[in-house]
Structure 1
Amino acid sequence: MRITGGAFRSRELRAPRGARTRPTADRVREALFSILQSRVELEGARVLDLYAGTGALGFEAMSRGAAHAVLVEKDRAALDALRENRRALGLDDTTQVLTSSVEQCEVRGPFEVVFADPPYADVRSGVAVRALERVAARLAAAYEGAPEAGTVRAIWVLEHDSKDKAPVIIGLTWSDTRVYGDTALSFFEF
């Protein structure tokens, strides 16, 4: 697994052994960031990476110009890989790692981009959807005042099984879904 673009292009990322962590495939990440390029200014952006795993999505955003990333992960093996990747890329000062479940995390925004790559079964069962709704409700306070009509405060990207439809997430407006084999990327506006 490698960073696909930006300052750290081609740098390898470590992943834990076993099937508990499912890092986003390089080709899917490359497609994701190509799509994001037309929707949001990554240069100087603040990024939130929920269910961060190895940190690949957050680190890819940093490589492409994001100013700061908060990565939330609870799995020990994934956290070890994430921290090793952060050190290897020299991102200790511009990233924050929260050792927490997404349900319990205390994050403060605002963020321009939010990534969520939960276990597919948690999306299907609704567990991840409820957690994302709680995060969206907490983050809403970080944006002063109501947005003007048509204004997008943040882009949220949910990775899920391509067999499943994009879920309804209260507080977010579904925009579109792109499918890459077994993986679907659903885009939401906040």
Structure 2
Amino acid sequence: MRIISGQYKSRKIVAPKNLPVRPTTDMAKESLFNIINNNYYFDDVSVLDLFAGTGNISYEFASRGTENITCVDQDFGCIKFINQTAEKFNMPINTIKSDVFKYLEKASGNYDIIFADPPYNFSDDQFSKIPELIFANNLLSESGLLIIEHSKHTNLEDQPYYSYTKSYGGNAFSFFEILEE
């Protein structure tokens, strides 16, 4: 995987092979960040990266100037790798080793962008629990965006606060936001 843009543009990051991850493809990541770039100033946003895996998405935010990034993953190896990479590049990334659902049940704070990349084999109930907990606990700012990455075969259109979906190859990103009445 590589960082697409910003201070660390073109840097390759090689994750250990034993991590239980499926990093977002460079093509999908580049398209996603083009959408985000049109709506936010990276140095002004706070980011919550759920099911962070290798930290791929967080590194991209940090490279583009985001100073407030929190990664949550339950795998110790993933958290260790993110911490090592963040330290190597002097990136402002905080990590939390936790089951994402347990974290969301107790979390407080307000984020401009929440990115979730759960396993593609999640059930519909597991997928729906993500926006349910985020919006119930007011974790997203009024002008914020929740982005859930999933297989193009998963449909999240019936979820509350759903806005739209963009597909790239086998990947899809569903966007959720607080829409003004």
The TM-score bracket by the shorter chain reads 0.7 to 0.9
Please state how far the C-alpha of 1:98 moved relative to its aligned partner.
0.6
Residue 51 of structure 1 corresponds to which residue in structure 2? 51
Name segments (4+ residues, structure 1) moved above 6 Å. Answer: none
Gaps of 5+ in 2: none
**Normalising by the residue count of structure 2, what TM-score does the alignment of the two structures yield?**
0.87
Matches within 5 A, 1:4-83: 4-18=4-18, 20-83=20-83
Residue 109 of structure 1 corresponds to which residue in structure 2? 109
Matches within 5 A, 1:97-136: 97-105=95-103, 106-122=106-122, 124-136=123-135
From 163, 170, 179, give the equivalent of 1:182. Answer: 170
SS where residue 72 of structure 1 aligns? Answer: strand
Gaps of 5+ in 1: 144-151
Please state how far the C-alpha of 1:127 moved relative to its aligned partner.
1.4
- Deviation by residue 1:142-190 (Cα, 9 ceiling, x = unmatched): 86xxxxxxxx4201111000012125444xx222111111100111113
Q: CA RMSD in A?
A: 1.9
Task: Note if contact 1:178-1:184 (Cα within 8 Å) is conserved in structure 2.
Answer: yes
Distance 2:175 2:70 in 1: 19
Distance 2:133 2:33 in 1: 26
Matches within 5 A, 1:164-183: 164-170=154-160, 173-183=161-171
Going from structure 1 to structure 2, the CA distance change for 1:95 and 1:137 (only over 3 Å counts) comes to same
SS where residue 98 of structure 1 aligns? Answer: strand
SS where residue 57 of structure 2 aligns? Answer: helix
Distance 1:175 1:39 in 2: 14
Going from structure 1 to structure 2, the CA distance change for 1:19 and 1:161 (only over 3 Å counts) comes to farther
Please state how far the C-alpha of 1:37 moved relative to its aligned partner.
1.1
% identity of equivalent residues: 30
SS where residue 154 of structure 1 aligns? Answer: strand
Matching residue's letter, 2:16: P
**Normalising by the residue count of structure 1, what TM-score does the alignment of the two structures yield?**
0.84
Going from structure 1 to structure 2, the CA distance change for 1:15 and 1:163 (only over 3 Å counts) comes to same
